[in-house]
Amino acid sequence: MSMPDLQNRPDGRNISIDKVGVKDIRYPIVVQDKNRDWQSTVARINMYVDLPHHFKGTHMSRFIEILNQYHGEISIERMDTILQGMKDHLEASRAHLEFDFPYFIEKQAPVSRARSLMEYQCQMIGSLGESSDFILGVTVPVTSLCPCSREISARGAHNQRSEISVQIRYNEHVWIEDLIEWIESCASAPVYSLLKREDEKALTEQAYDNPMFVEDIVREVTLKLSAVPKITWFKIQCENFESIHNHSAYAQVERKIG
């Protein structure tokens, strides 16, 4: 017995939909690792297509079917293939795919050289219509120390944890590890998951010698990324989670290069 397909029925309201699909699918993916070839992780995935005005709805199950076709092989290199499959199977003119995932890098503490894994939240955002677009994003925790506090205080200066979120477009491969290193170098000091006392001393002194307002951080990251020829666009956001105020400080810069 044939079952009715309500999604394929016509809709008379004459309103097209920009994005329709499924959100927050947890799914294993693989990501290129600069030091170990590949790293396996678990992403939260969003999948969307556009919907012409004459269709009532899209087939949500097909998104999961497409994802399952590439089980164990989902990566940045497969994004265009998956996006094309979404367009074809869902009869869409544009498809969108978003991965949010944790990525781990082994770091050595600055003095003790103690090794530990540091987690960074990353993004891959792809879309495919008449042309393709891809954005790589990372969020990097850092330390920022207030220049004003250091200037006016007889003893010490207040510092805080900050997050620098960067999205880039590029015309040649950029390693996640390199992007994170560039960003970390623009803060008062980096953050580690494991530190000994000698490391705490070194990082505290590094931050004190390198005070940064939130405005300083986004400007420094802007200078750093603007000097990378393969990057064609970037968006930088920094949020300082203030330690002596009941609010955060925030700054943003967006630039197209060339």
Listing DSSP states for 103-123 in one string gives EEEEEE-TTT--EEEEEEEEE
pLDDT for 3 equals: 55
Task: Give the residue carrying structure tokens 């420094």.
Answer: 220
Least Cα distance to 202 among 217, 184, 189 occurs for 189
Specify which residues 99 forms β-bridges with.
45, 124
Q: How many CB atoms lie within 10 A of CB 77?
A: 10
Q: What's residue 192's pLDDT?
A: 97
Q: What is the CATH number of domain 16-256?
A: 3.10.270.10
Question: Which of 248, 182, 181, 186 lies closest to 212 in space, CA to CA?
Answer: 186
CB atoms within 10 A of CB 57: 14
Residue 4 has a pLDDT of: 53
- Predicted confidence (pLDDT) at residue 198 exceeds the cutoff of 90: yes
Q: Which pLDDT score is estimated for 2? A: 63
Rounded CA separation 232/246 (Å): 37
Residue 257, amino acid: I
Say whether pLDDT at 42 is over 90: yes
- pLDDT category at 5 given cuts 50, 70, 90 is low
11: pLDDT confidence band, cut at 50, 70 and 90? Answer: low
CA-CA distance, 22 to 16, in Å (whole number)? 17
CB 77 within 8 A of CB 38: no
- pLDDT, residue 110, reads 96
Boundaries of every domain in the chain: 16-256
Q: Are strands 231-241 and 189-190 parallel, antiparallel or unpaired?
A: unpaired
What pLDDT is recorded for position 165?
A: 98
Residue 139 has pLDDT above 70, yes or no: yes
Least confident of 58-67, 139-148, 210-219: 58-67
The per-residue pLDDT of the chain, averaged, comes to: 91
Number of H helices, E strands in the chain: 6, 9
pLDDT band at 13 (very low <50, low <70, confident <90, very high): confident
Mean per-residue pLDDT, 63-75: 85
Going by pLDDT thresholds of 50, 70 and 90, the confidence category of residue 71 is confident
Q: What integer is the mean pLDDT of 75-97?
A: 90
Q: Is 2 exposed, middle or buried (0-12, 13-18, 19+ CB in 10 A)?
A: exposed
